[in-house]
Amino acid sequence: MTPTFAPVALEHASRLLNHGPTVLVTSAQGGRRNVMAAAWSMPVEFSPPRIAIVIDKRTFTRELIAASGCFGVCIPGAALADLTFAVGSCSGREGDKFARFGIAALAGPVLGVPLIEAGCAAWMECRLIPERHTEDAYDTCFAEVVAAAADARVFSSGRWDLRADNAELHTLHHLGAGNFARAADVVRARPL
């Protein structure tokens, strides 16, 4: 891990996704690896932490996940908008997108999946929970989060901390056609 990344307690892993960011899904099997963008992911259980993510069954990513039983979920910061759009706009079947786009990856601490830290706010290492019906019918995959880490400049003590001085790490939210909104302007609720 880079010096700015710190482990996230698994009981707080759901908070990395509960605000609906666009994510980068990483996968690898048999010497092949891939990264793709996904706009639909969410936490579904706190303990153990479990997520749901939509990954089309025709993608190279789904092929690698089916073969390996695991994947990574990396949460890109606003500085990676161009890269996020690029990896979501081409297939990994045509070549290694990590090499094509110069993406550095580290091996996850539990499952060894490729994970991205540079320009990302956080990552989660996930073990697939086979649910064939939902995978086939709805392209929805379920997974247990087995490890998580976040850049402490934007997420620490189980909470997001979005400020002007860390804007490059604010999460992206896909609006369609290569347009993203950046998470910002936190509004803190007051007790009533």
Q: Is the pLDDT of residue 1 over 80?
A: no
Cα 50 to Cα 76, 107, 134: the distances in Å are 20, 21, 15
Q: Is the pLDDT of residue 2 over 90?
A: no
What does the pLDDT look like over 100-131, one tens digit per residue? 999 999 999 999 999 999 999 999 999 999 99
- Domain at 3-180: CATH code: 2.30.110.10
What does the pLDDT look like over 76-86, one tens digit per residue? 999 999 999 99
Would you kindly state where each structural domain of the chain is located, as residue ranges?
A: 3-180
pLDDT band at 36 (very low <50, low <70, confident <90, very high): very high
pLDDT band at 184 (very low <50, low <70, confident <90, very high): confident
What does the pLDDT look like over 130-177, one tens digit per residue? 999 999 999 999 999 999 999 999 999 999 999 999 999 999 999 999
Pair 64, 33: CB distance under 8 Å: yes
Pair 53, 141: CB distance under 8 Å: yes
Token pair 């969410």 in the structure block, residue? 42
Q: Is the pLDDT of residue 17 over 90?
A: yes
Model confidence, pTM:
0.96
Average pLDDT score over the chain: 96
Pairing assessment for the beta strands 155-156 and 159-160 based on DSSP bridges: antiparallel
Q: Quote the CA–CA distance of 123 and 150 in Å, as a whole number.
A: 6
Pair 125, 146: CB distance under 8 Å: yes
